[in-house]
Amino acid sequence: MFFRWEWLRPVLTVPIVPTLGPVHPDSLSVDLFEDILRAAVTGDFLPYDKDRRWGGEKDEAVLRGDVVHQPEHTLIPTLTRRGRGTVKVFAYGHRGSAVDEAAELAAKLAAVHDAINARVVRPLGPEASSPRGIRIQLNDFTARACPDPGGPVLPVTDWPAAVQETFAPFAEAMAGDGLAFLHAQMQAGGCGPVLAVAVEDRIVGAIGPMEVRADAIGLPQLMPQYFAVLPEARGQGLGRALWRAAMHWGQSHGAAYQLLQTEVGGPSDRLCQSEGLTTLGFTHTTRA
């Protein structure tokens, strides 16, 4: 075993694991960190990796030979080959010097691996003052009911054919939010249902795919979704109706929880906070 839990556990202010992303607090263990080291050798998806559902090969891997593991801080670098390459160093530690060391390591490894981007990911606990970056939120389906909101929300395939045909231009317009990628997966038949809201026979918002899979300890998790509403259709409560319909779907299909990542202060962040989700912490990413 490479990692010493008595060193690592005290600096894990947020339940986030490199290459896996946020995990349920109950599943956070040294085994997850050992697993990502093993996956770096094989190149395979871990059985509970959320990216596994898209198929292909795992795009991000830990640079296991460059991990820094010490009593007061742990630095875990990863490499993504997508685009022109990105090195990210996750800096776990309470002292500011950990961030400085992480930035130096990220810049060095980016040069070694000919990656154009070098980043430092700093996890911050839920008590962080003036947080920036990404908020990690937990929706616990075992703690409260998620009723069907009703309204103009249906699976895309349940809308009339003429309405379904408007999904393609909607997805293209919201490509920056991942809807074009989602549309491609839908056409390939490689994902679960997608919920959509329509106004005047035109799709103006969607959330999906809707899928429940077991996490590392067997808890059923509602997987992350792509979620977008056309700018001109916002402010009418359609996004909230979509989100509530998705949560109802997850709970009614046996999910125990969902983890969400939202940009602090953004529309999705404000929606989730108003819905009473639990903040687990934040991640702040900076250039090295």
- pLDDT (mean) for 223-246: 95
Task: Render pLDDT for 12-49 as a digit per residue (tens, 0 to 9).
Answer: 999 999 999 999 999 999 999 999 999 999 989 999 99
Residue 276 maps to a domain: no
Q: What CA–CA distance (Å, rounded) separates 230 from 168?
A: 13
- Which of 105, 133, 161 terminates a domain? The answer is 133
CB 69 within 8 A of CB 91: no
The amino acid present at 266, given as its one-letter code, is: G
Mean pLDDT of 120-127: 96
Residue 271 near residue 260 (C-beta atoms within 8 A): no
Task: State residue 83's pLDDT score.
Answer: 86
Rounded CA gap, 288 and 105, in Å?
A: 9
Q: Is residue 102 part of a domain?
A: yes
**Are 160 and 94 contained in the same domain?**
no
In the chain, the N- to C-terminal Cα span, in Å, equals 30
Are 41 and 111 contained in the same domain? yes
Of 133, 163, 184, which marks where a domain is finished? 133
Mean pLDDT of 60-83: 96
Q: In whole angstroms, how far apart are CA 89 and each of 61, 160, 173, 185?
A: 12, 48, 33, 30
Residue 258 confidence (pLDDT): 98
Residue 247: inside a domain: yes
How is residue 286 written in tokens?
């900076």
Is 90 exceeded by the pLDDT of residue 54?
no
Query: Can you give the pLDDT at residue 115?
Result: 97
Residue 36 phi/psi, 5-degree rounding, is -70, -25
Residues 108 and 154 grouped into a single domain: no
pTM of the model: 0.92
| Residues facing 16 on adjacent strands | 22
pLDDT one-digit tens code per residue, 162-213: 999 999 999 999 999 999 999 999 999 879 999 999 999 999 999 999 999 9
For position 242, which CATH number holds? 3.40.630.30
Q: Which two tokens stand for residue 182?
A: 């989602």
- Helix, strand or coil for residue 58? coil
Query: Is 260 a domain residue?
Result: no
In a domain, 200, yes or no: yes
Range of the domain at 40: 5-133
The pair of three-digit structure tokens given for residue 100, joined into one six-digit string: 């400085």
Say how far apart CA 19 and CA 34 lie, in whole Å. Answer: 12
